[in-house]
């Protein structure tokens, strides 16, 4: 069976060496942590998607930076193709409108939190990112 392809974009929003994570409040992955973002609309770039989705879901403005990683993950009913960008907060304070909770996470949090399967690779990549506390600087 051919899986439906779902294209999404997310951001690792970093502030003061911590990253913004969201706890899913619905669906099969309820209670797991993820990087904020959402589905790409037709004609929209991945960066534009990340900016729009994060404004809609968290009521903040971000400035996306470099591509942290691309994740392709096969869930039981669909294939997820996700670009994850680094980003900085450029306006507002996050408000959980669609999530059970939000967290400015540090390295210890990345080690202990349970992530949605597709977000695990992004969390691993972030650990080595120089702008994140504990990230490698060499």
Residue 2, pLDDT > 80, answer no
Sketch the domain layout of the chain as residue ranges.
4-127
Which residue in this structure is represented by tokens 């669906």? Answer: 27
1 band by pLDDT with thresholds 50, 70 and 90: low
CATH of domain 4-127: 3.90.79.10
- What lies within 8 Å, CB to CB, of 2 at 6+ separation is none
Model confidence pTM above 0.85: yes
pLDDT, averaged across the chain: 92
Q: Looking at residue 134, what is its pLDDT?
A: 54
Core vs surface per residue 81-96: b (16+ CB within 10 A) or e: bbbbbbbebeeeebeb
Residue 117, pLDDT > 60, answer yes
- Tokens (6 digits) for 45: 């770039």
Task: Establish how many alpha carbons lie within 13 A of residue 22's alpha carbon, considering only the half-sphere containing its beta carbon.
Answer: 23
Q: In a 3-state reduction of DSSP, which class is residue 83?
A: strand
What's the pLDDT tens digit per position in 44-100? 999 999 999 999 999 999 999 999 999 999 999 999 999 999 999 999 999 988 889
């Amino acid at each position: 069976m051919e899986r439906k392809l779902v294209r999404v974009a997310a951001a690792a929003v970093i502030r003061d060496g911590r990253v913004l994570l969201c706890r899913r409040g619905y669906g099969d992955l309820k209670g797991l942590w993820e990087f904020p973002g959402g589905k790409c609309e037709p004609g929209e770039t991945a960066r534009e998607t990340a900016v729009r989705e994060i404004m809609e879901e968290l009521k903040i403005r971000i400035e996306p930076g470099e591509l942290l990683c691309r994740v392709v993950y096969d869930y039981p009913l669909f294939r997820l193709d996700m670009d994850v960008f680094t980003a900085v907060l450029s306006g507002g304070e996050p408000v959980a409108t669609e999530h059970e909770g939000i967290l400015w996470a540090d390295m210890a949090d990345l080690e202990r939190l349970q992530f949605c399967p597709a977000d695990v690779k992004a969390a691993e990549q972030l650990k080595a990112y120089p702008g994140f506390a504990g990230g490698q600087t060499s």
